Structure formats: structure tokens, C-alpha cells
């Protein structure tokens, strides 16, 4: 694996874990919104692609009940990451299992293994999206659903502009490429591969409140792809975080909070 690929993998995993914590204080609950699109039933089987710390797996386990099952797999093969997920969110859940697998490669499961497949803020890290979507369709049962959610083109635009100001760097082509992949690649492929596709825009305000919120915002930035791509060392990352703190502190002092606007695109893909 190249150095750049390793950086992407590490930033993607850390970002998913930190993002799950950050999104707890928001207008809407992501898992409930996903359930409104998926309509998971008792005894359903679910594959969560890009499970991160297992937060979605835990929510889905409640929706499918003891007769159902949720399989979590991260985007990249990561035994350590899956162990963290099991310890943090999934301990004691008999209807959840975690699979160590590189999601860019074919799965060993049989055709029509799942009633639903989900991927939240993760699928766009994979290189061959067409092959992945074809494989996910294979894994769906007849009348199954794939639900993919990822950033819209203007996601967190205000925060990205803040990053550009404090770093003195424009967003990298790699970062903007990931930002645009849901709209520019996943959506056209979904229409070509699946039998029916529905599009659901989603705008969610995420709140960082008080001193705890400030620290959460700094942690979010430190573990983001933004900081990873603008830094060559831990020292440079720390310097960026310090500049961010200096910039947003007046906002916290005046308003008691910082608001990030998460703009997403949900894509429901049906297999008939």
C-alpha cells in the first residue's frame, strides 16, 4: 500500500469514528433518517459497509430484532478498528457480527444474502465504485435495498472555507474528488446498475456547544482528512489545530457554540 493510500485509510477510519461522536448533537439522528428510507423489519439481514465504530450496526440491531442480523464491515481491512467497534458499541449484541474484509474486493457471501445494505460516509473512499455497486447488488435479495449516504458538493462549505483560511491551502484534488463522488460517480452508476433509484437531500446542523464543544471541534479537525492532507507531521497538524482554536474561540465566546452545516445526499437503490 502506498503512503497516500495508508494516509487515506487511516484518516477515513479516524474520521468515521470521530464523526460518529460529533453527530450526536445535531438536529436529526442519522440512523433514524436512514431507517425512514430503509424501513428495516424484524428478522431482516443487513450489511453495513464502512461500519467504523459500529454506531449504525447498534441502531440497526434494534430495528431487526433478535431474529435479524447485522454484519458490519469497514471499508478497509482493519482488525484493530473492528475490535474497537466491538468494545465500544457492540458488546453483548448477539445479532451483530463484524467481518474483517477489504470492501473493494468481492465478498465470500452467497448471492441474495441481505435484505438491506447500507454505507454511510464511506463508500467514496473505494477506487472502483462500479465493481463495488455491482457486488452489492449481487448480495441483495430480490426487492432488497441499498442505501448510500455521503457528502453533497457543498457539504460543510463554511468549515472548509475556514480551513482554507487558516491553512493557506486550497482543498486538494483528492479531497474535492471524494467530496464530489456521491453526486458525480455513485449517483450515475446507481441509475445504471439498479432497477430503481430515489434521491434524498439531507441538511443537518451539528452543534459544538461550550468548552466541551470546542474540544470536540478541535478533535474533529485534528482527525479529519482536511488536516491530514494539509500537514506533513504531527507538529504541523497541531499548529493547524491551534490556529483553528484561535479563529473559532471568539465565536464560542459570543454565541456559546459553533454550528457546522452537514449537507448530504442519500441514494436508495432498489433491486427487483
pLDDT (tens digit per residue) in 84-133: 767 777 888 999 999 989 899 999 999 999 999 999 999 998 989 999 99
pLDDT, tens digit, 9 for 90 and up, residues 123-151: 998 989 999 999 999 999 999 999 999 99
Please, what's the b/e burial string for 198-222 (b: 16 or more CB within 10 A of its CB; e: otherwise)? eeeebebebbbbeeebbebbbebbb
pLDDT of residue 34: 94
CA gap 258, 249 in Å, rounded: 9
Q: How far is CA 98 from CA 53, 92, 93, 154, 239, in A?
A: 11, 13, 11, 33, 37
Helix (H, G, I), strand (E, B) or coil at 78: coil
68/203 Cα distance (integer angstroms): 30
Of 76, 79, 31, 27, give the one whose Cα is nearest residue 57. Answer: 31
Domains and CATH numbers, the chain: 3-157+172-207+261-270 (3.40.50.150)
> Would you tell me the crossing angle of helices 79-88 and 3-22 to the nearest 10 degrees?
10
Amino acid at each position: 500500500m502506498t503512503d497516500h493510500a495508508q494516509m487515506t485509510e487511516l484518516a477515513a477510519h479516524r474520521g468515521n469514528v470521530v464523526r460518529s461522536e460529533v453527530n450526536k448533537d445535531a438536529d436529526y439522528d442519522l440512523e433514524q433518517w436512514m431507517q425512514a428510507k430503509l424501513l428495516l423489519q424484524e428478522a431482516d439481514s443487513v450489511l453495513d459497509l464502512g461500519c467504523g465504530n459500529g454506531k449504525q450496526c447498534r441502531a440497526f440491531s434494534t430495528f431487526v430484532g433478535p431474529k435479524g442480523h447485522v454484519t458490519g464491515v469497514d471499508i478497509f481491512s482493519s482488525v484493530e478498528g473492528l475490535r474497537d467497534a466491538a468494545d465500544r458499541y457492540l458488546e453483548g449484541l448477539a445479532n451483530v457480527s463484524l467481518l474483517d474484509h477489504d470492501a473493494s474486493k468481492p465478498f465470500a457471501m452467497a448471492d441474495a444474502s441481505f435484505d438491506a445494505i447500507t454505507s454511510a460516509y464511506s463508500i467514496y473512499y473505494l477506487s472502483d465504485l462500479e465493481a463495488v455497486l455491482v457486488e452489492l447488488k449481487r448480495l441483495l435479495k430480490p426487492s432488497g435495498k441499498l442505501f448510500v449516504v455521503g457528502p453533497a458538493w457543498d457539504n460543510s462549505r463554511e468549515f472548509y472555507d475556514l480551513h482554507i483560511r487558516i491553512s493557506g491551502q486550497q482543498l486538494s484534488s483528492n479531497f474535492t474528488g471524494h467530496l464530489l463522488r456521491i453526486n458525480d460517480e455513485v449517483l450515475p452508476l446507481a441509475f445504471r446498475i439498479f432497477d430503481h433509484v430515489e434521491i434524498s437531500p439531507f441538511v443537518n446542523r451539528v452543534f459544538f456547544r461550550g468548552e466541551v464543544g470546542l474540544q470536540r471541534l478541535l478533535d474533529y479537525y485534528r482527525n479529519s482528512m482536511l488536516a491530514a492532507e494539509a500537514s506533513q507531521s504531527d507538529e504541523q497538524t497541531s499548529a493547524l489545530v491551534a490556529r483553528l482554536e484561535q479563529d473559532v474561540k471568539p465565536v464560542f465566546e459570543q454565541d456559546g457554540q459553533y454550528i457546522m452545516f452537514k449537507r448530504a445526499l442519500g441514494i436508495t437503490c432498489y433491486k427487483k
